[in-house]
Amino acid sequence: MLLVASNLFMTVAWYGHLRFTTAPLWIAVLASWGIALFEYTLQVPANRIGYGQYSATQLKIIQEVVSLTVFAGFAWLYLGERLRWNTVVSFALIVAAVWFAFAFPAEKVS
């Protein structure tokens, strides 16, 4: 849940300003940094909690899948973009990457 919430904040920080193209860039940058602060306050604890159960690589892969899933919903609901067939295929390939990362995990370094 921390990863989902942090990715919601980061997606808004990175892409929310795209609907406000008339605002000066410096305002978009400052607003994005302010929103991203909340993302970090959720992402860091999520990684700390998860690191004992997953490797850092597995955590990153989980984060990317969550990030892309959140982004797909954001792009559809907020930006009005449609999901296309090649996007679905891309997500399927990412899911395959997750399978490979978890099916053959690296040994943890002591």
User: pLDDT of 14-51, one tens digit each?
Assistant: 898 898 989 999 999 999 999 999 888 999 999 999 99
Residue 68: per-residue pLDDT: 86
pLDDT(82) > 80:
yes
Return the pLDDT at 25.
94
Read off the tokens for 47: 């990684």
97 pLDDT band, cuts 50/70/90, is confident
As a whole number of angstroms, the distance between CA 86 and CA 38 comes to 32
Q: With 80 as the cut, is the pLDDT of residue 109 above it? A: no
Report field, pTM of the whole predicted structure over 0.85: no
Task: Give Cα 63 distance to the centre of its chain.
Answer: 6
pLDDT confidence of residue 102: 83
Whether 4 and 66 have beta carbons less than 8 Å apart is answered as yes
pLDDT of 105 above 90? no
